[in-house]
Amino acid sequence: MNNKVNYFITAIGTDSGKTLAAAILCKALGADYWKPVQAGLPRDADTIKMLMPGCKIHPETYLLTTPASPHAAAKIDGVEIDLNKFTIPTTNNSLVIEGAGGCLVPLNDRDFIIDIPKKLKLPIVLVANLYLGSINHTLLTINYLKQHDLDVKGIIINGKSNPESERIILKHSDYHVIWHIKEEVEINEEVVARYAEKIRQKI
């Protein structure tokens, strides 16, 4: 892709598939990767390195030791996350930015993960997985994004298909599905490359 673009990947919750989606988008766009806040190990950046060898990875603004909500992990480390410290890394490539958890995961007592793309004026890709209860979680997330007039490019559905859940979510969101990442026996470079080829013209 010739045009430089930046995307912020958020999700309806933890373990929805943001890192896999980020790897696929990095491959599709020839993009760099940045995770502004990492709480605990293993680092999502290490997963990107494994799935996308050669991808340039920018260092976290906050690398925290405890696998917990960023505000809690920061407290344990004796730091307070400052929204003003987040600045887009300098690069000549497109950039895929991965959030932590869902939209309203707190950074501190005032700010949430979704305030990062708000501050940096980044378009958003929403990742949703269709477990029991996900319709409620997805529509609540979508309602928040719409109420705050955030630029959402579309939804990546991750995991087991549920056509009726997908239909009702799209009916009430007016968003489109960028792609559906199916359940895979193994996640590796080849799988990422296969999806990247399919998604390249959709984003």
pTM of the full predicted structure? 0.95
Per-residue pLDDT of the chain (203 residues; tens, 9 = 90+): 447 999 999 999 999 999 999 999 999 999 999 999 999 999 999 999 999 999 999 999 999 999 999 999 999 999 999 999 999 999 999 999 999 999 999 999 999 999 999 999 999 999 999 999 999 999 999 999 999 999 999 999 999 989 999 999 999 999 999 999 999 999 999 999 999 999 887 87
**Alpha carbons 112 and 105: distance in angstroms, whole number:** 6
Half-sphere exposure of 106 (CA within 13 A, CB side): 9
Query: CB within 8 A of 177, min separation 6: which ones?
Result: 154, 155, 156, 157, 166, 170
Give me the pLDDT at residue 111, please: 98
* Of 67, 1, 72, 61, residue with least CA distance to 30: 1
Give me the pLDDT at residue 200, please: 85
Give me the pLDDT at residue 203, please: 76
Stretch (H or E) spanning 32: strand 32-34
**Domain 6-199 is of which CATH architecture?**
3-Layer(aba) Sandwich (3.40)
Q: 189-192: which pairs have CB atoms within 8 A and are 24 or more residues apart?
A: 189/51, 189/52, 189/53, 192/20, 192/23, 192/24, 192/27, 192/51, 192/52
Q: Is 118 a catalytic residue?
A: no
Give me the pLDDT at residue 75, please: 98
Question: How far is the CA of 63 from the CAs of 77, 97, 163, 196, in angstroms?
Answer: 10, 15, 38, 28
**Alpha carbons 49 and 27: distance in angstroms, whole number:** 12
Give me the pLDDT at residue 3, please: 79
> 18, 35, 119, 198: which is the annotated catalytic residue?
35
The residue ranges of every structural domain in the chain are: 6-199
Give me the pLDDT at residue 1, please: 42
